[in-house]
Amino acid sequence: RDGDSRGFKPRGEFAPGQDRPRERSEGRSFDKPGFGKPRSERSSDAPRSFKPTPSNGRHEKPAFKKKSDFKEVVAKDPETEKRLAEEAANRRVGRFETAPRYDLSGYDKKPGAKRKQESSEMRLNRYIANAGICSRREADDLIASGQISVNGKVVTEMGHKVETSDVVKFGKKALSREKLVYVLINKPKDYITTTDDPEERKTVLDLIKGACFERIYPVGRLDRNTTGLLLMTNDGELAEKLTHPSNGIKKIYQAELDKPITTEDFELLQAGLELEDGFVKPDELGIVTPDAMVVGLEIHSGKNRIVRRMFEHLGYEVQKLDRTVFAGLDKKDLPRGKWRFLSEKEVVRLKFML
């Protein structure tokens, strides 16, 4: 139910599991549960990196990604270009009609995002990441394996710096700094979080088809039946930052269960659970509805289906799961199934202030 804002009652006001008629209160949400626990109490798990699937199926040598199929289609068929643009416009909300250009060159990566003097030099791995084909870490692998050349010479040195005027190639393909695009989607059910589905099911790219020429990728993932916020971008560096659990990026979910959660199970969940792939503990937990059938939780784990598996471990089935907050971004003015471009202020905060 898009736009639902439900608050959670202090646990002393009712007993979870009590047989009461279900009540839904509008105008409140579990977006700010009160964050008092130290980071040291949070669980750690394996990072989930931002890795576009290479065409050769192997990750040792990431394959060069072409521009989106959309660009190739519209170059041949103006009618298709017009139709796809109209469909994208119908789903888009917010003040930006096209992907804005962000001036991020003068920001320092320190709290407060202080300005620094601009330099035309940058590290080679950053240049490759900015070309939109991989993350910085993957760019280091490309450099080390001798697949990158600068001005005709193969470079394998880590930390090598290039000028904007240098010619950088991946194999025989010249790279250029791609325009960075950031799209926020309020994902509906029945859309797959992938860029290509062999079974030809609906993907999140179908929601934004025609939004931009750049090839953008989902940051993390949401299950097919999970709704809520999903960020898509070609900024591999930011995507890696937002999906690495050591950064403690805030994600808040509302889970509607098949039965009221009991006081005992609530306390077990609050203390943390030992699942088949390790220990996991919510960073914050709260009851959203008086009938104790909707639970809000903040978690930074990137493990697959982690929220659903936590409740399944306690004997509950999650009937609806909605991500209401991701990295400080919320669903305000973003109805279900719609998308918008991020503002420069939002991008600066994500890249330099989190």
Regarding whether 214 and 169 lie in a shared domain, the answer is no
Count of structural domains within the chain? 3
296 CB-contact burial (10 Å; exposed 0-12 / middle 13-18 / buried 19+): buried
Catalytic site residue 103?
A: no
Same domain, 280 and 340: no
| Same domain membership, residue 186 and residue 83 | yes
* Inside any domain, residue 89: yes
Question: Looking at the structure, do residues 254 and 347 belong to the same domain, yes or no?
Answer: no
Would 277 be classed as within a structural domain? Answer: yes
Q: Which domain holds residue 145?
A: 121-175
Same-domain status, 300 and 195: no
Select from 129, 156, 175 the last residue of a domain. 175
142: left (phi over 0), alpha (psi -120 to 50) or beta: alpha
Whether residue 106 is contained in a domain is answered as no
Residue 244: left if φ>0, alpha if ψ -120 to 50, beta else—which one? beta
- Residue 54 domain flag: no
Determine, yes or no, domain membership for 31: yes
Residue 108 lies in a domain: no
Tens-binned pLDDT, residue by residue, of the chain (354 aa): 444 545 544 444 444 545 444 444 444 455 444 444 444 444 444 444 444 444 444 444 444 444 344 444 444 467 775 676 677 678 889 888 788 888 776 665 545 444 444 456 788 988 887 776 777 788 899 999 999 999 999 999 988 999 878 899 998 888 877 788 999 999 999 999 988 888 888 899 889 988 887 888 899 889 999 999 999 998 888 998 998 878 889 899 999 999 999 999 999 999 999 999 899 999 999 999 999 999 999 998 878 899 999 999 999 999 999 999 999 999 999 999 999 999 999 999 998 876
Residue 321 structure tokens = 């799961």
Q: What is the pTM for the complete model shown?
A: 0.65
58 inside domain: no
Last residue within a domain, chosen from 160, 175, 190: 175
Residues 224 and 193 in one domain: yes
Looking at the chain, which runs of residues are DSSP E strands? 121-123, 148-150, 153-154, 161-163, 168-170, 173-175, 182-187, 217-218, 226-233, 251-257, 273-275, 278-280, 284-287, 294-299, 318-326, 329-330, 339-341
CATH number for the domain spanning 88: value is 3.30.70.580
- Catalytic member of 141, 223, 277, 291: 223
